[in-house]
Amino acid sequence: LASDLDVPITLFADVCCAIRFRDWDKASFFEPFVGQLQRAVREGHDVQLHLHPHWLDSEFRGGRFVPSASYSLGSFAHRTWPDNIPGIVERGVGLLREICVPADRGYRCVAFRAGGFCLSPGTDSILSALYHAGIRIDSSVAKGNRFASRLWSVDHRDMPQAANWFIDPAGPINTAAADGLFEIPIAAMPRTPVNNVPFLLKRVVCRHRRYESGGWPIDVGNVSYVGKVKRLFPSSAWMLGFDHYTDSVENLMRILGWHVRRQSNDTDIMCSAISHPKFMGDHSFALMRGFVERVRHVYGDNVSFCTYRDVYDELFAGRGDHDSVLTRMSA
């Protein structure tokens, strides 16, 4: 679909999962994973770093996966090489190079999205390891996003006003620096009780659109009555993406429009849209097609779709540095 729409995409590949399945199920999982990434690169798409490090501690026993509770990269801060933060990052970058260079000799791993959008705890160690490994772009932030569970938490409510900013490798992520990792956030708008009620209703009305992937997120569990009541009064953000069966093209255009208007003082606005393959079905692909067509109609020549590697080549390639759908909006 992306190729049909002439939209290059970036696959943020879950590398830690691949590392484990290379041992657990090489023929049925790892080798098809390699083939998919190589095909994407050959067809002009992009592959970049995504880490769900809990896979490194997870087990496969009695025909069942037993997931680890070490969900965030910060959980590995006090371990020894190669199971500490720098070791995991370098193993991930190394595996992507091993996979992608045969398909594109000029391939470079330069961008990162954190599993669960989680860059804490240990933010300074994570950012430093990413920068040392040649990562120059982060795309883990969605302004206003807030989430907390028994395994990890995220709070992106206090971010710089600018559309894009540099993050110092020593952190924090919410303070603009002169240089470092360039943040390309996921486009988002506030999630409020008013716009949350239609979502809750659509979860019932639109269940027929749901794509049953056969898998569940790691932190799914029974929600208490108090938790269910709290869902009516959210304090978070709607992220621009294609993998939720309650969304419509109009919903996505509202999110993008909000994000663009909030950055009206910026000449260039770089933002991303996200999707998770395990949640995507026919409705998701129709949503993606409709969104791309509507964006081109509304914004015309002021918008272009490109990859993180494209942005890296424009911003960093001439400086001598070492080694999702991305939307660049020109206001």
pLDDT in tens, 255-301: 999 999 998 788 899 999 999 988 889 999 999 999 999 999 999 99
Q: CA 19, CA 11: separation in Å to the nearest integer?
A: 17
62 or 30, which is more confident:
30
C-alpha of 2 from chain center: 17
Q: CA 225, CA 54: separation in Å to the nearest integer?
A: 29
134 or 322, which is more confident:
134
Furthest C-alpha separation in the chain: 57
pTM for the model stands at: 0.92
C-alpha of 79 from chain center: 26
Report the chain's mean pLDDT, rounded to a whole number: 90
